[in-house]
Structure 1
Amino acid sequence: MTRTKLRLAVVGAGPAGIYASDILLKAERNFDVSIDLFDHLPAPYGLVRYGVAPDHPRIKGIITALRDVLDRGDIRIFGNVRFGTDITLDDLKRHYNAVIFATGGVRDADLNIPGIDLDGSYGAADFVNWFDAHPDYPRTWPLEAKEIAVIGNGNVALDVSRMLAKHVEDLMVTEIPANVAEGLAASPVTDVHVFGRRGPTSVKFTPLELRELGELRDVDMIVYDEDFDYDDAARAAVAGNKQVFVIDKVLNQWRQREVGQASRRLHLHFFAKPVEVVGDEQGKVSAFRYERTRPDGQGGVVGTGEIRELPIQAIYRAVGYFGSPLPDVPFDAERGVIPNHEGQVLVHDPATGENRQMYGVYATGWIKRGPVGLIGHTKSDAMETISHLINDLGNWWTPESPTEDSVVAMLEERGIRWTDLDGWHRLDEHEIALGAAEDRARIKLVSREEMVDVSRGE
């Protein structure tokens, strides 16, 4: 029996795409595999490079694991290639047997309250992309507010709050670029207020993230006694869940701290449901209005009808990420995902009114399941998708031009300045050298042109 060869395209070179590639290469199968990984950015790693605050050294561990996979050399990378413009679904059908979309979620989920579009209201993801030197975002960020609200109780909300409240001198050991350091240095911020609609035992952030907040130099951590009047459900959560127990312990330690000496304050407000962002005559953010909630006895909350208002000049919504549609690929606009059954992409058939499998097309990561879960979920998610891909062998595409050279020829013919693994190593070394000159681990390049020039050795 002749062994079949699977030519696979993976769109998205973040953890989801890299793990899926690695899992397929290590899986039991009776065919050969050749994988090409495409990304619209010149550098790999997706949200690990562009979605996490620069003062998170533990992310380096994840990057090391991803780097080890790529450095084996059995996965080709094509960076700076945009799906939908530089290459299309029809192109992939011509050169591959199947494609996995692992494009994640990069834009902010909406928060539908009056005033959310006022001047001074921002999405957390956009701010993160700015401070992480994403090449497709502006170089400057408006940091003019003294009092700021951050809406959300997940790790992104804490990242954003920490970056807003932290003194820029304490970030200079990290890889933040000069334009970001300059922007943060000029910020007049004195108070950052973080709001969550539920209580302290229902937060979505991890103990590690919370602890890091309490270690900020010259920043007082302020929590409010009224938020710690627990009901039975909250007490049961503390007793029955180690993570909740640790979070509760950290917050209660902060309640005992003496405050009033620091130049900046970071406030955590619980039981606060967003009602409205209030604007001034110029259409700028001037206050945040919220309803006080209380426990409903079932682990949820209900409104109390008590409305409060806090003066602020900027507000960041950190209520989750959201996927973006891809050309020629089905998309569920409600959930921000590609419709799928365990990673097999589904297309709506108007004739039958049913969803049927779109052969050859798969999804993994956040674009498959929505923006929830950490790196561990991404691995199990990829395993599910890969097992279907392997079992669907009879339904793969039959490409006209499946050779590895044909893809390179196509990109060259179109004049696309793509980057490869050697190019990433050149960029990596260049950024590390920039950092070494200032006693820092790395300084990221911000300009796409410059990233591509360095990668291509031009």
Structure 2
Amino acid sequence: MLHVAVVGSGPSGVYAAQSLVQQDRVPDVRVDVLDRLPCPYGLVRYGVAPDHEKIKSLQNNLRTVLEHERVRFLGAVEIGPGALPPARLLGLYHAVVYCVGAAADRRLGVPGEDLPGSYSATEFVSWYSAHPDALADASAPDAFVRDVESAVVIGVGNVAVDVARMLLRGAAELLPTDMPHAALGVLAQSRVREVSMVGRRGPSQARFTTKELRELGALPDTEVLVDPAELALDPAYADPSGLPAASRRNVEVLRGWAERPARGLPRRLRLRFFLRPVALVAGAGGRVAGTRFERTLPDGRGGVTASGAYEDIPGQLVLRSVGYRGVPIEGLPFDPDRGTVPHAAGRVLRDGVPSPGEYVAGWIKRGPTGVIGTNRPCAKETAQSLLDDAPALVRRPLSGDPLTALRAAGQEPVEWPGWLAIEHAEAALGHSLGRGIVKIPDWAGLRTAAGGMRDTP
């Protein structure tokens, strides 16, 4: 028997587990899927916007893998210093596959970035998605939008679109979602009436998908405003025929909005381009009051160059959405320039040499690129490398069930029945509030719910 630990229960981790148990080359492969959180599914649960029910339904496919007879989910297992070091974890299994994603946000690196009212988009997403780590140091549950009338979102990818949409959505549209009740109440009382979403390059280089972009135009009582002069700075705007299909469709949508007369709706979303943030500006109370941008111009090589012209955009909330970065795990090699673990076809490299039994998949392997489906071939490549190595790996004897050793090491794993109890508790919570399923947003609540597994039918 080949016993493998997969660290991370998001798409890359579950796809890795699936590739290992649904193959015929190596018989009787068993996989423990470990996660730091007591809940599975990673960013599908904690990163996909609550109003994107179709994407969130991917959880059903991931569930099928986690319920496989040779797959075991073990949540609330911490890997790293002060917990379970990678070397000790590898001693419990023939192989370990790290699928830990890219948990850190890239920073702007500009003055004022740490002013009150300035956050990463991920912090905002984690809050409205009920991540138990969200806003652990916040002074109040409404810290994001308290006294905020205008917001600036820096970035023009799908996450930027999501957070802009959440700021402008009405409570009626969010009520049927699984958003935690406290966050729903805060957003229902929000005074945000204007959001500026700003990119340093042009519309043809924006990273959002056309489907997400069009959703902005369907927001009730919200006017999408685009400056035709900014669009025209993009050399591909006048003739988008040479662009990839997705970029061409984006340009066409933006062109339609730019040509549409203003309608005077209560809320406004401004899409801005060719502006580079250079500083966040404080107001009288010390909180961020706006962002200073420098106008950029195309350099003819796909990049931009500085113009020396500046503009301030007001906003008492600034959310940066300029990419993600992998976080090192003490005990594993790490490339600080790429934000990934060095590897060869998924095999972890230590001093340039494959480390027996250690593997990576997902964003920690390739960087934060691609969509959810990109993780499937990435995980499959890593699984194939592991299966190629299996004859050597299984020669090392193991000392018994790793679950016993995990508990002896002070871990308190939440097994699949515990997760089912959390699901049951979230359904009951929603029913008590007159809603559908409502997420439990805190560690204590999740632990209590998981402990009720004996009472779950």
Q: Same fold (TM over 0.5)?
A: yes
Change beyond 3 A, Cα 1:197–1:231: closer
Give the one of 379, 385, 400 matched to 1:388: 385
In the alignment, structure 1 residue 180 sits paired with structure 2 residue 173? no
Could you tell me which of 95, 98, 104 is aligned with 2:95? 98
Hey, what does 2:60 align to over in structure 1?
Answer: 64
The secondary structure found in structure 2 opposite 1:392 is helix
Q: Distance in 2 between matches of 1:219 and 1:240?
A: 29
| Secondary structure of residue in 1 paired with 2:225 | strand
CA contact (8 A) 2:169 2:219 kept: yes
Matched-pair contact (CA < 8 Å) for 2:153–2:319: yes
Conserved? CA contact 2:323–2:368, under 8 Å = yes
Q: 1:51 aligns with which of 47, 52, 67?
A: 47
Following superposition, the deviation at residue 225 of structure 1 comes to 1.1
- Residue 447 (structure 1) aligned with residue 442 (structure 2): yes
Pairwise CA distance, 1:130: 0.7
**Which whole-Å CA distance do the structure 2 matches of 1:125 and 1:217 have between them?**
25
Matched, 1:23 2:26: no
Give the corresponding residue for 2:402.
407
Offset of 1:74 from its aligned partner? 2.4
Match of 1:37 in 2: 33
Give the equivalent residue in structure 2 for 1:218.
Answer: 221
Report the 3-state secondary structure (helix = DSSP H, G, I; strand = E; otherwise coil) of the residue aligned with 1:385.
helix
Alpha-carbon distance in 2 for matches of 1:253, 1:434 = 43
Alpha-carbon deviations, 1:1-49, whole Å to 9, x = none?
A: xxxx211011111111000110122234134311111001011000110
Q: Decide whether the 8 Å contact of 1:233 with 1:298 is kept in 2.
A: no
Matched, 1:433 2:436: no
Identity score, percent: 39
User: Which ranges of structure 2 fall in alignment gaps of 5 or more residues?
Assistant: none
Residue 123 (1) aligns with residue 126 (2)? no
1:301 has 2:301 as partner:
no
* 1:278 matched residue in structure 2: 281
| Runs of 5+ unmatched residues, structure 1 | 349-354
Kept in 1: contact 2:282–2:290 (CA 8 A): yes
Do structure 1's residue 255 and structure 2's residue 258 form an aligned pair? yes
Deviations 1:274-295 (A, max 9, x none): 1111223543212211111222
| 8 Å Cα contact 1:39-1:82 kept in structure 2 | yes
Q: Is the CA contact 2:94–2:398 (under 8 Å) kept in the aligned structure 1?
A: no
Question: After the TM superposition, which of the residue ranges 170-179 and 392-401 deviates more from structure 2?
Answer: 392-401
Distance in 1 of aligned mates of 2:315 and 2:123: 19
User: Taking structure 2 as the reference length, what is the TM-score of the superposition?
Assistant: 0.92
Residue 372 (structure 2) pairs with residue 369 (structure 1): no
Matches within 5 A, 1:153-232: 153-229=156-232, 232=235
Relative to 1, partners in 2 of residues 1:414 and 1:344: Cα closer, same or farther, differing over 3 Å? closer
- Match in the other structure for 1:320: 323
What is the TM-score when the length of structure 1 is the normalising length?
0.92
Instruction: Give a deviation string over 1:377-425, Cα, whole Å, max 9, x none.
Output: 111111111111112235537555353xx32222333453321122222
Is the Cα contact below 8 Å between 1:111 and 1:317 reproduced in 2? yes
Query: What is the CA RMSD across the aligned residues, in angstroms?
Result: 2.1
Query: How many angstroms does 1:236 deviate by?
Result: 5.6
Amino acid in the other structure paired with 2:273: F
The 1-side partners of 2:204 and 2:75 are apart by 42
Deviations 1:24-81 (A, max 9, x none): 2223413431111100101100011011211111223321211122223321010011
Distance in structure 1 (CA, Å) of the matches to 2:49 and 2:207: 17
2:337 pairs with 1:334: yes
Structure 1 CA distance for aligned equivalents of residues 20 and 73 of structure 2: 16
Contact kept? 1:96, 1:397, Cα under 8 Å: no
